[in-house]
């Protein structure tokens, strides 16, 4: 296993603030530098596929995955990942085989997953106490194992975005048109669902169930307001996501702020969105 | 007589227990501009999607092979359903298919030049930098036509090409299709309920209302009886004379189209 200490030291040198001298802050920064681009890249496609609700369903499945792990005595992080992956692929499989719209299918899974989690928790009240950390997440307690796992996912996602970005964009514009142009739409839809499920679950560790969707959607939505082309949308989403993550981490560590890191990151991204909406509005006005 | 480009043999489609097509037997002559006509709900688009392999069906659809291998299909969908807010330009759409390099790493000069040539062939060069969501119905149809001929298709399939297009746009599309067909030699299969487009443009016709009500060369097939059987009303007053500038010779080509 490679030693991550030089990476943490680099993080401290790049951002020479007092708050960044603590090891847990350096670890949090490394995790966010890996996580934020992943959310931005996937968020661009989530918005194109109109699948914002999908990430909500997956993030809430984390709650059930953890409950299941605690109940059967397995590693809760493993059951959480496995359960999310199963739910993500099942949503995609059902939506491809039914005439129901995808948001209806996601809604059914969302409800079923929550109900299942509550049923598990109601059988054993002690389980509920362990679930709270997943509802709010805590980037400041992230460990080396999580960082390594996020790094592996980052590499896989970069490969996917390099090989499949154009095809995925095509499917997002119109699946029938993409299929007619020999894009294997089914393969890309399943791969996307699987990778998105993994990104959502890893994000739950950092920002919690409640804020995962915001990590995916807000940078992509801001990028839509600012970009003039598909590649512009990709790069703007990255800029918004990474700057929000770093700024949010630093601000939350200030004594005058004292806010939760995940929430502060999402607030920074929301400021970006407000600014981008103004720019987008001005541009539309100039066109008229 | 040459082998048909497409042969439908006993094709039936049922979706959710509802029969959409019943034992369709029809053929599309090689090199023709064949229109599939019928009222709403007749199964025209369903037949097209079955042909494109996007819908399961019973029966058989034979698509003739070419000397180079299986026939390549180009597809122009009906009024593309897409998110009009997506910041994607016409040039982006033209290159995402053939370009291997991810779009976020830039567009290759070669693909840009190829795209401009294709857009030029449908008189859409000035649209290259425009956002997809800002295109009019006629402009979008021409861009989709450029996209469809990108793969140099042997068979070009169009679903309601005049839907959402004004008269001028429809005439331009009609001219472009005739010119492209003459230049590239593809077979054209077009779904439409627009009889003026059929009489002006199609060399052959398949009249469909769940089943085939008639098929063959346009003028010989579109009799009052066949139209009544297809549309359920008397359409004998339909003017079957081609529009000025859209006449065809016996091979289905316009006299002024480039050879």
Specify the CATH number for the domain of residue A61: 1.10.3470.10
Q: Which of A78, A92, A82, A87 is nearest to A58 (CA)?
A: A87
Q: Which CATH code for domain B1-72+155-249?
A: 3.40.50.300
Residue of B nearest to A233 (CA): B87
Global pTM value: 0.83
The pLDDT value given to residue A26: 92
How far apart are the C-alpha atoms of A141 and A31, rounded to whole Å? 11
Which of A230, A237, A276 is most worth mutating to test chain B (most B CB atoms within 10 A of its CB)? Answer: A230
In this prediction, residue A216 has a pLDDT band, given cuts at 50, 70 and 90, of very high
Average pLDDT over residues B146-168: 86
In this prediction, residue B253 has a pLDDT band, given cuts at 50, 70 and 90, of low
In this prediction, residue B161 has a pLDDT band, given cuts at 50, 70 and 90, of confident
The pLDDT value given to residue B243: 45
Residue of B nearest to A162 (CA): B102
Q: In this complex, do B104 and A50 lie within 8 Å of one another by their Cβ atoms?
A: no
Say whether pLDDT at A272 is over 60: yes
Instruction: Considering only the beta carbons, identify the residue of A169, A179, A183 that sits closest to B103.
Output: A169
pLDDT single digits (tens) A19-30? 888 999 999 999
Q: In this complex, do B88 and A50 lie within 8 Å of one another by their Cβ atoms?
A: no
Give the H/E segment covering residue B174.
helix B167-184
The pLDDT value given to residue B237: 42
Among residues of chain A, what percentage have pLDDT more than 70? Answer: 96
Which chain A residues have a beta carbon less than 8 Å from that of B80? 173-174, 177
The pLDDT value given to residue B247: 52
Q: In this complex, do B97 and A183 lie within 8 Å of one another by their Cβ atoms?
A: yes
Say whether pLDDT at A251 is over 90: yes
Range from A209-213, A241-245, B28-32 carrying the lowest mean pLDDT: A209-213
Average pLDDT over residues A130-144: 78
Say whether pLDDT at B256 is over 70: no
Instruction: Considering only the beta carbons, identify the residue of A173, A182, A235 that sits closest to B104.
Output: A235
CA distance B15 to chain A (A): 10
pLDDT single digits (tens) B24-44? 999 999 999 999 999 888 999
Average pLDDT over residues A192-212: 89
The ipTM estimated for the assembled molecules is 0.83
**Which of the two residues, B1 and B26, has the higher pLDDT score?**
B26
Say whether pLDDT at B163 is over 80: no
Say whether pLDDT at B228 is over 60: yes
Which of B80, B96, B101, B147 is most worth mutating to test chain A (most A CB atoms within 10 A of its CB)? Answer: B96
Interface of A with B in 239-278 (CB under 8 A): none
Which of B18, B104, B134, B149 is most worth mutating to test chain A (most A CB atoms within 10 A of its CB)? Answer: B104
pLDDT single digits (tens) A38-55? 999 999 999 888 888 888
Domain range list for chain B: 1-72+155-249, 81-151
What is the Cα Rg of chain A in Å?
19
The pLDDT value given to residue A204: 87
Residue of A nearest to B144 (CA): A177
Average pLDDT over residues B253-259: 47
Say whether pLDDT at B244 is over 70: no
The pLDDT value given to residue B246: 47
Average pLDDT over residues B237-258: 49
Interface A–B counts its CB contacts (< 8 A) at: 98
Question: Residues B70, B227: contact at Cβ < 8 Å?
Answer: no
For A216, the domain range is: 5-287
Q: In this complex, do A167 and B86 lie within 8 Å of one another by their Cβ atoms?
A: no
Say whether pLDDT at B238 is over 70: no
**CB contact, 8 Å: B167 with chain A?**
no
Say whether pLDDT at B151 is over 60: yes
pLDDT single digits (tens) A61-105? 888 888 888 778 888 888 889 999 999 999 999 988 887 888 899
Both tokens of B110, joined, read 């070669």
Q: In this complex, do B99 and A166 lie within 8 Å of one another by their Cβ atoms?
A: yes
Query: B151: burial class by Cβ within 10 Å (0-12, 13-18, 19+)?
Result: middle
DSSP characters over chain A: ----HHHHHHHHHHS--GGGGSHHHHHHHHHHHHHHHHHHHHHHHHHHTT-HHHHHHHHHHHHHHHHHHHHHTS-HHHHHHHHHHHHHHHHHHHHHHSSS-HHHHHHHHHHHHHHHHHHHHHH-HHHHHHHHHHHH--GGG--HHHHHHHHHHHHHHHHHHHHHHHHHHHHHH-HHHHHHTT--HHHHHHHHHHHHHHHHHHHHHHH-GGGHHHHHHHHHHHHHHH-SSHHHHHHHHHHHHHHHHHHHHHHHTSTTT---HHHHHHHHHHHHHHHHHHHHHHHHHHH-
The pLDDT value given to residue B249: 55
User: What is the rounded average pLDDT for all residues in chain A?
Assistant: 89
Q: In this complex, do B87 and A174 lie within 8 Å of one another by their Cβ atoms?
A: no
Instruction: Considering only the beta carbons, identify the residue of A48, A177, A182 that sits closest to B86.
Output: A48
Query: What domain count does chain A have?
Result: 1
The pLDDT value given to residue B138: 86
The pLDDT value given to residue B5: 93
Say whether pLDDT at B257 is over 50: no
How far apart are the C-alpha atoms of B242 and B240, rounded to whole Å? 6
């Amino acid at each position: 296993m490679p030693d991550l200490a030089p990476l943490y030291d680099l993080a401290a040198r790049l951002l020479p603030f007092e708050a960044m001298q603590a090891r847990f802050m350096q670890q949090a920064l490394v995790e966010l530098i890996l996580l934020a681009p992943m959310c931005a890249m996937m968020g661009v496609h989530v918005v194109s596929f109109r699948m914002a609700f999908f990430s909500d369903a997956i993030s809430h499945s984390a709650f059930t995955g953890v409950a299941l792990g605690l109940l059967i005595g397995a590693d809760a992080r493993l059951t959480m990942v496995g359960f999310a992956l199963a739910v993500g692929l099942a949503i995609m499989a059902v939506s491809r085989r039914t005439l129901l719209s995808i948001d209806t299918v996601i809604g059914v899974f969302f409800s079923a997953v929550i109900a299942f989690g509550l049923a598990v928790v109601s059988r054993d009240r002690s389980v509920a106490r362990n679930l709270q950390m997943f509802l709010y997440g805590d980037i400041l307690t992230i460990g080396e194992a999580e960082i390594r796992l996020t790094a592996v996912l980052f590499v896989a996602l970069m490969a996917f975005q390099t090989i499949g970005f154009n095809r995925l964009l095509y499917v997002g514009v119109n699946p029938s048109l993409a299929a007619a142009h020999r894009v294997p739409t089914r393969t890309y839809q399943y791969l996307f669902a699987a990778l998105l499920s993994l990104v959502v679950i890893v994000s739950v560790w950092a920002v919690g169930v409640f804020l995962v969707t915001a990590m995916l959607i807000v940078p992509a939505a801001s990028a839509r307001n600012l970009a003039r082309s598909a590649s512009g949308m990709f790069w703007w989403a990255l800029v918004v996501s990474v700057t929000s993550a770093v700024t949010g981490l630093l601000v939350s560590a200030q004594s005058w702020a004292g806010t939760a890191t995940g929430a502060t990151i999402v607030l920074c991204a929301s400021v970006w969105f407000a600014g981008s909406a103004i720019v987008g509005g001005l541009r539309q006005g100039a066109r008229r | 007589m040459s082998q048909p480009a497409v042969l439908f043999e006993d094709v039936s489609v049922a979706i959710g227990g509802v029969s959409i097509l019943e034992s369709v037997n029809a053929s599309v002559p090689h090199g023709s501009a064949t229109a599939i006509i019928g009222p709403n709900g007749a199964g025209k688009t369903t037949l097209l999607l079955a042909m494109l392999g996007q819908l399961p069906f019973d029966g058989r659809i034979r698509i003739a092979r070419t000397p180079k291998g299986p026939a390549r299909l180009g597809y122009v969908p009906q009024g593309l359903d897409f998110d009009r807010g997506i910041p994607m330009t016409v040039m982006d759409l033209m290159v995402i298919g053939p370009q291997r390099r991810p779009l976020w790493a830039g567009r290759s000069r070669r693909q840009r030049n190829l795209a401009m040539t294709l857009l030029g062939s449908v008189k859409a060069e000035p649209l290259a930098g425009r956002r997809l969501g800002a295109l009019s119905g006629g402009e979008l149809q021409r861009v989709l036509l450029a996209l469809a001929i990108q793969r140099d298709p042997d068979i070009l399939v169009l679903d309601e090409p005049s839907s959402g297009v004004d008269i001028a746009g429809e005439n331009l599309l009609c001219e472009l299709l005739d010119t492209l067909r003459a230049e590239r030699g593809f077979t054209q299969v077009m779904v439409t309920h627009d009889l003026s487009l059929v009489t002006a443009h199609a060399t052959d016709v398949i009249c469909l209302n769940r089943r085939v009500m008639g098929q063959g060369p346009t003028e010989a097939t579109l009799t009052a009886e066949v139209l009544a059987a297809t549309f359920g009303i008397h359409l004998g007053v339909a003017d079957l004379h081609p529009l000025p500038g859209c006449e065809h010779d016996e091979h289905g080509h316009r006299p002024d189209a480039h050879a």
